[in-house]
Structure 1
Amino acid sequence: MRALRVQTKVLIVDDDPIVTQLIKDTLGKAGFSVTVLHDPGKALAFAQELRPDIILIDRIMPVMDGCELCRKIRENHHTAHLPILMLTSRSETADVIAGLEAGADDYLCKPFEPLELVARLRALLRRIQQERYTNPLSGLSGNPAVEKEIKERILSGEKFAVLYIDIDNFKSYNDTYGFLQGDEVIKFLAEILVSTVDKKGTPNDFLGHIGGDDFLVITLPQKVEDICHHLITVFDEGIQRFYSKEDWERGYVLTVDRKNREQLFPIISLSIAVVSNEHRKIDSHWVVGEIAAELKKYAKTFPGSIFVKDLRRK
């Protein structure tokens, strides 16, 4: 049995029945599932119920214009994430700016070519999807992309190694220096990950930011040691600038808890767990995650930055 293809749902909010019918016909032929709403006052509630993939909004409408509707959609946490393409007969720069500042993601002036409308919709959907796959702090691919990449590597049957990278004692660092400084450490690690893979990896290597202080690199088994050694060296040398002179020279962070007890926290370091199908078969991304969790737990029993490889053959 063939799997049914899920259609992209488009909600059109426009008071002109002639224009909306033209758009509906055009998008319907292109494979979109289209719903038309002529009353902008009902659009917010309708969007919450329909959950469209994208909304087309006319700029000029009675009672509520397109900019006002855009703002209402962006202010509602159920609909704030929905991409919006604004349609208008006004092409002046001020009108375009007003629509974008109100929350529209893109702008298309009437009259427009049907093929251009379809192309703009697809391009906007691709861009939004890519943004959702990217971690906003590091700029690296996020969890959905990471999972997809691991699955594809497994299906390819080729040899690969996954490096799971975690910052040790990061919570205590955040508690002491604040989350904004913690974010700078995350950005620093992301930057040296990119430069390390550029220098020591291959053009087909993949970098991901799983979330928080957890990162991932997918490379070839023979590249693992060079990448890990270089990454640890650069991180350990560069992390000094994120500490006060006193903490760095002392070699640990000294804090006092709510019960006035002193607590000592080591300088942050890296634990890297290396999972590979070089010596054992891996047939699921879940297995990769389970092995990595086990290895990271083991790596954290050692002081300082370290990488550990899974050398088991079963």
Structure 2
Amino acid sequence: MPKTKHKILVVTDDPSLRAALAEKLSASRFDLCYSDGEVMQKVFDEVPHLVVIDEGFKRGEGLRTALAIKRDMVLKYVPVALLAARRHALRRRKTGLIDLFFERPPEWKNFLLSIRRLLAKNYNELDLNPLTNLPGARSSLLRIERAIASRKRFAVCCADLSHLGVFNKVYGDARGDKVIARLAKIIQRAVKEEGGSDDFVGHLGGDDFIVVTHPHAAEGISRRIAELFDEAAPRFYDRRHREEGHLLERSDEGVLTRYPLIAVSIAVVQNGTRPLSEITEISAIASDLQRCMKKLPGSRYMEDRRQARRENDDKDQGVSETAKSVRIGGFGRGHEEKYRDFFVEVLEKGRIETLYQPIVDLRERKVIGFEAMTRGFSHSPLKDSSLLFAAAREYGKIQELDELCVEHVLKSGQGIGTDKKLFLNLNHETLITPGVMKRLFRKRGAIGLKSLVIEITEESILRSFQKIKDALFELKKEGVSVAIDDVGGGAVSLRDVAILKPDYMKFDRSLIRQIHRSKTKQQIVRSMLLFASGFHALTAAEGIETKEECQTAAACGVHLGQGYYFARPGKAFPEVIFH
């Protein structure tokens, strides 16, 4: 009987097999959850210790589902047991990725014993970092311990950002989190391009990441991380700071200081030149390398090449003499030219499309409005909205892009109906420009001003509070409603929100994700509901993806909901199927 109550996700649409698995696994004191739909999302939501999949799931899609989990950069660390038909069982074992195979139905005694043995190893337990969905500190440390115990050659690449604290001071923590999330994607891409199928990517917390790989792949991975990050880095900044090449801020001692732009440093520690028997050794070596790199400009990686010291060797082998340091130069000028050409085409030919996502009244179970979302055309390198707007900010064309987006929304959204609200996102540069709002909404057709809701982010409030306050006051005088997006992300004070008195408060999705499992999150949401009631604002939960999140948000008293659970963004106007 397991000492820890492990959670097992059962994936089958066969009622008799599901009942048999429920009986046997529950009797062995396992916690069970089930999926007969979106399996990958269910694994992310539940974070099970094991997934048991019926090969016959969805008319034979079980094996493909199992392989999709094992090939995913994050989910591959969750063990998978496949129940295969007798004639397929031996052949399925040859795939090499699945952890356990059993004939269907299994011999129950052997089935339970094999599961207990697998879970007893405990090295695949997945603790996801909430910002990046990568394995967290515990999984990362277990993976390094496993590499040490294997007595095989391995390397650990430790990635860290320079000057993120100053960046957060200027732009706010919410924008800093976006930098961290982008670095996570960059690391995963680099590992896919340069690493192997068994490589591990972990997020220790903050801006600290690790990659566990083979020494032969470590340099290629590290170089690619630095190259990709330097290509992305300019878009984290406003145009002025990018052109200046630094941030001017006071240090902790009060001295006005020029801080370079954010760079990534990767310390590479491997056991090819010296034995490594403790995680603390790896940490100490990586810290030495990081300290050395942070004294140098730009993104770079540094590989430790110090030999194990002999007892009679008195020489102090310093990092500068025994480590290889490589600077990654430039910000990818060729890529910038390519993006500039595509962006010019976006503005000149209007090559964008507008998608709409429903916003639902959780109590009445009806659609009250739609949020308009803009992206580039399907085959454009600027299809992703974050890249599109980053390019606009880079080239000083945010207001022009905002105007183009509003024009598209007002054309495609004419059929929304007078009883529905139309939620629009605008950047602070557009909001604070005198007279621009009247020009933007001059050709709104059948859409009345009272149907419009302008969404602003906490970031906009941080950057231009007084100007934003004045702009919102003018909007509200015209009958336009105001929503503050991402409330609860930690970037702006509730005092500022209270002064602005928005009509809607949209909770940051980090508060809503798995809210049914967190009493703390539920209490925070209830407190914010009480706060919002003080100025009669309606509240909305963003990022609802499961029935449990929806039910818990409604039980807390949240008025509105939005997310994939109701509908994905689509062309005007997606229907909602109420579950």
Q: Same fold (TM over 0.5)?
A: yes
| Structure 1 position 302, deviation (Å) | 1.1
Question: Separation in 2 of the partners of 1:206 and 1:264?
Answer: 36
| Structure 1 position 262, deviation (Å) | 3.2
For residues 1-314 of structure 1, what are the structure 2 equivalents within 5 Å?
6=3, 8=5, 30=28, 133-255=127-249, 262-314=256-308
SS at match of 1:135: coil
| Structure 1 position 30, deviation (Å) | 2.1
Question: Separation in 2 of the partners of 1:28 and 1:192?
Answer: 41
Relative to structure 1, the CA distance from residue 254 to residue 7 in structure 2 (aligned partners, 3 Å threshold; closer, same or farther) is: closer
Q: Work out the percentage of aligned pairs sharing the same amino acid.
A: 34
Question: Separation in 2 of the partners of 1:257 and 1:220?
Answer: 40
- Identify the residue that residue 405 of structure 2 maps to in structure 1: none
Question: Separation in 1 of the partners of 2:227 and 2:25?
Answer: 54
What CA RMSD, in Å, does the superposition of the two structures yield over aligned residues? 3.4
Question: Separation in 2 of the partners of 1:130 and 1:205?
Answer: 13
Deviations 1:258-286 (A, max 9, x none): 99863321100011111100111111122
| Structure 1 position 294, deviation (Å) | 1.5
Q: Is the 8 A contact 2:246 2:261 kept in 1?
A: yes
| Structure 1 position 255, deviation (Å) | 3.0
Deviations 1:195-250 (A, max 9, x none): 11100111111000010011111111111221111111110111111101000010
- Identify the residue that residue 549 of structure 2 maps to in structure 1: none
SS at match of 1:286: helix
Q: Which amino acid aligns with 2:304?
A: D
Relative to structure 1, the CA distance from residue 257 to residue 167 in structure 2 (aligned partners, 3 Å threshold; closer, same or farther) is: closer
Q: Which amino acid aligns with 1:30?
A: S
Q: Is the 8 A contact 1:7 1:31 kept in 2?
A: no
Relative to structure 1, the CA distance from residue 135 to residue 5 in structure 2 (aligned partners, 3 Å threshold; closer, same or farther) is: same
Q: Is the 8 A contact 2:166 2:249 kept in 1?
A: no
Question: Separation in 2 of the partners of 1:142 and 1:249?
Answer: 36
Deviations 1:17-47 (A, max 9, x none): xxxxxxxxx9996257xxxxxxxxxxxxxxx
Gaps of 5+ in 1: 10-25, 33-53, 55-82, 84-114
Q: Is the 8 A contact 2:126 2:139 kept in 1?
A: no
Q: Which amino acid aligns with 1:135?
A: N
SS at match of 1:189: helix
Relative to structure 1, the CA distance from residue 228 to residue 130 in structure 2 (aligned partners, 3 Å threshold; closer, same or farther) is: closer
User: Relative contact order, CA 8 A, sep 6+: which one is greater?
Assistant: 1
Question: Separation in 2 of the partners of 1:294 and 1:243?
Answer: 29
TM-score, normalising length: structure 1: 0.59
Question: Separation in 2 of the partners of 1:298 and 1:141?
Answer: 28
Deviations 1:100-154 (A, max 9, x none): xxxxxxxxxxxxxxx9xxx9xx9xxx9xx98961101011110000010001111
Relative to structure 1, the CA distance from residue 168 to residue 259 in structure 2 (aligned partners, 3 Å threshold; closer, same or farther) is: closer
SS at match of 2:188: helix
- Identify the residue that residue 42 of structure 1 maps to in structure 2: none
Q: Is the 8 A contact 2:131 2:181 kept in 1?
A: yes
Deviations 1:167-197 (A, max 9, x none): 0001111111101100110111011111111
| Structure 1 position 256, deviation (Å) | 5.3
SS at match of 2:227: helix
SS at match of 2:283: helix
Question: Separation in 1 of the partners of 2:249 and 2:192?
Answer: 38
Q: Which amino acid aligns with 1:212?
A: G
| Structure 1 position 312, deviation (Å) | 1.0
TM-score, normalising length: structure 2: 0.33
Relative to structure 1, the CA distance from residue 259 to residue 273 in structure 2 (aligned partners, 3 Å threshold; closer, same or farther) is: closer
Relative to structure 1, the CA distance from residue 260 to residue 7 in structure 2 (aligned partners, 3 Å threshold; closer, same or farther) is: closer
Relative to structure 1, the CA distance from residue 312 to residue 237 in structure 2 (aligned partners, 3 Å threshold; closer, same or farther) is: same
Q: Is the 8 A contact 1:247 1:254 kept in 2?
A: no
Relative to structure 1, the CA distance from residue 239 to residue 280 in structure 2 (aligned partners, 3 Å threshold; closer, same or farther) is: same
Question: Runs (4+) of structure 1 moved beyond 6 Å?
Answer: 129-132, 257-260
Question: Separation in 2 of the partners of 1:175 and 1:234?
Answer: 24
| Structure 1 position 295, deviation (Å) | 1.4
Relative to structure 1, the CA distance from residue 164 to residue 173 in structure 2 (aligned partners, 3 Å threshold; closer, same or farther) is: same
SS at match of 2:135: coil
